[in-house]
Amino acid sequence: MGQKGEETRNRLLDATQELIEGGGYSGAGLNQVIAASGTPRGSLYFHFPGGKDQMVAESVRRGGREIGRAVEELAEAVPDTASLAVAVLTLLGDRLEASGWRKGCPVATVALEMAATSDPLQEVCSEVYGSWEGMLRDRLAADGHPEAGDVAVTVLALIEGALLLARAHRSREPLDRVARRIVTLL
């Protein structure tokens, strides 16, 4: 694929990611994606012959990688998992607040809306969450935590729940409360 083709594909993925984070799967209709990306309809089907589900799956995977890279960078800058979790909550809270409470987790809206009805989208959501859980588990194990797997899933669930509550309340308070409890837990 040439540079122009890659740019078009990236514009489609950018638009899809923006729309699904703010409005979920149903908020990312093909007409909305085409309008937001400024690309012709034919480009969508050329780059994503599997249609909307393929485009959403790739957007979720891409958003998950972006958050994963940010977590890796934060992990290098902090001394332990508790500090990492607090830094992640701060990062995601900043992102959520800056977006007008629309963009918290790049996976959650699709997981909540589609995981029960679309196997391919469920698999992508599970893959991304699994990669984040693995990052936390590895860090906890490196910190010497004896139950790294169980605690990793707990921390991830606390972060995801805090993001959902912060979005619902349009307040950082749930993020701050969860940050304090994670520090106590770890």
pLDDT tens, residue by residue, 100-124: 999 989 899 999 999 899 999 999 9
Residue 21 located in a structural domain:
no
Work out the average pLDDT over 58-77. Answer: 96
Instruction: Report the CATH number at residue 124.
Output: 1.10.357.10
What is the overall mean pLDDT for the chain?
94
Residue 15 located in a structural domain:
no
Residue 2 located in a structural domain:
no
Residue 24 located in a structural domain:
no
Residue 40 located in a structural domain:
no
Residue 114 located in a structural domain:
yes
Work out the average pLDDT over 169-177. Answer: 97
Work out the average pLDDT over 50-68. Answer: 95
Structural domain span for residue 181: 57-185
Given a cut of 90, whether residue 41 has pLDDT beyond it is no
Q: Are 158 and 81 in contact (CB under 8 A)?
A: no
Residue 31 located in a structural domain:
no
* Tally of domains within the chain: 1
Work out the average pLDDT over 6-30. Answer: 92
- For residue 113, the model assigns a pLDDT of 92
Which percentage of the chain shows pLDDT scores above 70?
99
Given a cut of 80, whether residue 3 has pLDDT beyond it is no
Given a cut of 90, whether residue 1 has pLDDT beyond it is no
Given a cut of 70, whether residue 181 has pLDDT beyond it is yes
Work out the average pLDDT over 73-97. Answer: 96
Residue 151 located in a structural domain:
yes
Given a cut of 90, whether residue 58 has pLDDT beyond it is yes
Given a cut of 80, whether residue 139 has pLDDT beyond it is yes
- For residue 22, the model assigns a pLDDT of 87
